[in-house]
Chains A and B, each alone.
Chain A
Amino acid sequence: MRYAETGFNLEVDLTRGNIERVATDPRDTELYLGGLGTNAKMLWDRVPPEVEPFSPENLLIFSSGLLCGTPATGCNRTIVSTISPQTQLMAFSMMGGFWAPELKYAGYDKVIFRGKSPDLVYLWINNDKVELRDASHLRGKGSGETAELIRKELKEPKAQIASIGLAGESRVFFASIEQGRSSASRGGIGAVMGDKGLKAIAVRGTKDINVARPAEFMELCKEVLSYIKFRNENPVEGVMAILTGLGSPQEMAVHDEKWHTENFMWGNSRIRRKDFWNQEIAAKWMETLETMRTRLISCYNCPMKCGATISPPGLPTYMMKCFSKLTYTMAAMSDLDFGLRIAQNATEYGVDGFSAPQVMAFALELLEAGILTENDMPGLPPDNEGRFHWLLDRIVRREGIGDVLANGTYWAAKQIGNGAEAFAHNTIKKHEQLPLKLSMLNPIYFLMYSTGEKINITQIEGQFPQAPFATRAEREAFVKDWFQVPDDKFKQYFLDWEPRGEKSMPFYPTVQMCCDIVDWQERMHYIDDALGMCAGLSSFPLKPPYHIHNYPKFISAGAGFAMDEAKLTQATQRYRTLVRAINIRRGMRRKDDKPPENHWKKRFPELEKELLDTYYRFKGWNNDGIPTKESLHDLGLDYVADDFIKRRILKDGDDGPANG
């Protein structure tokens, strides 16, 4: 008997319309846990580097996490993995909501798609009955509209549905997969779904998920729930409001946007408006949100209310969470009313809320600079807001200039030429980033931006405070109940960290300390991504209820195999290295491990080199960022080393640690 997981995957060949239920190997669960871990194993085994993102051989994997569907609070994430059309690397975007637990209750851990359907279809999973159904009547329909139509035609209001909108069908490189309440947006995975001719996956399940040692597991769950209550009543002191609590940033609940609007960049990640926020704007935006927001809502089995239903007058209701609240507003230099309205459109079309607004702002900047002209945009309205709507409509249909822009700023700039490349300034590994431009290099963030293979800063940061506290007394107060640290040395790092003077950035935390801090933060995210846990209760906020000390207990009481901190750390290193190996095999190297050139004004090239050299060595990678034969062997990944040697990525005998 399998615990926590079901032990079965669905393999769907869209070319032939064949569906199989396949038993999985429990040894893979022990080695790679589940979710992202087993997805990475599958992509390594089955998608060689020659496979293009839009090839039938590319896999599109929808996975639950190992603990999804168990009573563990907040464990509800769907991890979607494939090869991204935008970065050409592995994408593993995720979404909360209700889909992954429902898949578990239907009796499956993953759904793996290969091939391409000749006609647009959707997959209907109803426990043991699984079928591909015609979706030609859903072509061009919005993501939410599609979900409602499918529920109606199946007469199954409880079906959970992941779908794409027009952007996915048009293979827009930043198309998302939407699930009403939540979306997997980054990396353009919606485009791969569209390319495969798959409009949606509907799932309904009424089976049991078992846990191995029920009493023990429930005790752990109760501890977590009461700690969540404690944390909700006791916000962290000494950090900016948005970082005090649990959950994803409570954007739907707060009205005070002084911090975001004055510290994040507007337009095409260009302009900082230091004195933007005033009483008049505060009152106007508050009225907008109060008028449009119907209710704060949650994902499956989670008390945090990170999302909201938004009903813009005259438009259909949709659901939103987190920072999409402001990305359109700020890219268009507009107000919240515009932002919440266009986001309704964008959600139905199914586009990523970080990339889409920046791509549009980028296009308008090119127009202003004369690199694009009115001739490239026939019919473009005169007003800024109208222009954003116009561009969005073109992009999701790949019409005219929209066809170029649909590939994102990096590829569009290359195609447009004539100096456009300088305007695609906010990407890492060809992927648009948060609109942030700062003054002095932060060594911790330098490493995270450079090496984070989720290619999104919020998906790697979290456990260590972003900035030092002003006084020693405040720091002492902070570390007092900081039991989440894997080792007490992290408390010392923080205690000694000063805003100014000898022990301040960029030279403190020291290079070695930065490696420890980045590694810890990354590890927690990777654990979440394998278990299906929401980062909002774990890796993202300070002092979370899930941490390195209770996770091994959850896994062992839940899934029933022996687990401790060391074994969990190693398993995480194993599939984290596998993600890197997939990307290395696809050509990623040290040259790609860098933040946007202008992310910080004040840079320290020597220090940055030392940071990267040391971190690579710390991770067991050589000087070009390639995992060494020795470190691969230690993780039980000899098959990766063999492949690297066969492909001459590593030379046999010439793979020692960097500077070793």
Chain B
Amino acid sequence: MGEKKKKKVKTIKVDVDKCNGCRACEMICSAFHASPQYSSNNPARARIRVISEPLKDIYVPVYAGEHAKAECMGRDKYVIDGKEYEECAFCRASCPSRDFFKEPDSGLPLRCDMCESDPTLEKPLCVQWCTVDALTYEEREEEVEEELPLDDAEKGLGSLIDKHGLQKIMDTMARMSKKD
């Protein structure tokens, strides 16, 4: 087992009731991550997207998380308080099944990095630009177990899982082990 280690957990709290749908978060995110910084902006490059369906009163800012190389085996669809949200609405992944969180030119995946920069910002910029407080920032420390370094076999399997999905690898392993 690894040792216990302190880890800083950064959280953006999203209060969808307060969102006014202005998309300043998308705008400033794309400007901050432009190179040189702020030289351009383009919400399509943002690592946050506001799901916005005004007539259904749906406003949900969603952040880009880890890239998923494989599609999920199925999709989900939420209905909350009678409002039906789009398929996989709250998922943070950029994945093959949809065109969210991808660079419009290259298709490369985007991921929220909490505006990590040098010098460190007090808060991510989307939070700073959200003056209606739909986005607020919290930090806390957690004790986590230090991760053990992976061995080569695990690394190899990991990339296979990335590529084909865990279920498929498990099925294949099961089939292959039966043969013997």
Contacts and interface: CB of A to CB of B under 8 A. Distances in A.
B18 to A, nearest CB: 10
A225 B55 contact: no
A495 interface: no
B22 A299 contact: yes
A207 B104 contact: yes
Contact of A301 (B27, B86, B104): B27
A309 B31 contact: no
A214 B39 contact: yes
Contact of B55 (A98, A105, A317): A317
Contact of B41 (A157, A208, A309): A208
Contacts of A225: 129, 131
A297 interface: yes
A319 interface: yes
A144 B36 CA distance: 40
B124 to A, nearest CB: 15
A73 B27 CA distance: 10
A157 B38 CA distance: 27
Interface in B21-71: 21-24, 27-28, 31, 34, 36-45, 53-57, 59
Contacts of B36: 214
Interface string B1-37: 0000000000000000000111110011001001011
Nearest to A144: B55
B108 interface: no
Interface residues of A, number: 41
A131 B59 CA distance: 30
A157 B89 CA distance: 13
A218 interface: yes
Q: Chain B: interface residue count, which band?
A: 20 to 34
Nearest to A226: B131
Contact of B22 (A69, A180, A303): A303
A217 B42 contact: no
Contacts of B57: 294-295, 309, 317
Given A297-B21, A305-B20, A148 B40 contact: no
A297 B23 contact: no
A305 to B, nearest CB: 5
B23 A300 contact: yes
13 contacts: A69-B41, A70-B41, A105-B43, A148-B55, A181-B54, A206-B44, A207-B44, A208-B42, A208-B45, A209-B40, A214-B34, A229-B131, A297-B20
Given A71-B28, A180-B54, A299-B22, A210 B131 contact: no
A214 B22 CA distance: 22
B132 interface: yes
A302 interface: yes
A289 interface: no
Contact of A218 (B23, B24, B31, B104): B31
A298 interface: yes
Contact of A296 (B20, B41, B55): B20
Nearest to B31: A71
Contacts of B23: 98, 300-301
Given A180-B54, A309-B54, A217 B24 contact: no
Identify which of B34, B36, B129 gathers the most chain A CB atoms within 10 Å of its CB.
B129
Nearest to B43: A105
A154 to B, nearest CB: 14
Given A228-B131, A299-B22, A210 B54 contact: no
Contacts of B40: 208-211
Interface in B118-142: 129, 131-132
Contact of A298 (B21, B31, B39): B21
A101 to B, nearest CB: 8
B20 to A, nearest CB: 4
A105 B42 contact: yes
A215 interface: yes
Contacts of B131: 225, 228-229, 303
Given A208-B34, A217-B38, A229-B131, A297 B44 contact: no
A218 B104 CA distance: 24
Contacts of B24: 73, 301-303
A148 B56 CA distance: 12
Interface in A315-334: 316-319
B41 A209 contact: yes
Given A180-B54, A294-B57, A215 B38 contact: yes
A157 B54 CA distance: 11
Identify which of B28, B42, B86 gathers the most chain A CB atoms within 10 Å of its CB.
B42
Nearest to A69: B41
Given A218-B31, A295-B59, A302-B24, 6 more contacts: A157-B53, A206-B44, A207-B104, A214-B34, A295-B20, A303-B131
Contact of A297 (B34, B45, B54): B54
Contacts of A318: 55
Contacts of B22: 298-303
A303 B132 contact: yes
Interface string A202-234: 000111111100110110000001001100000
A397 B4 CA distance: 75
A73 B36 CA distance: 21
Contacts of B56: 317
Contacts of A144: 55
A121 to B, nearest CB: 25
A206 to B, nearest CB: 4
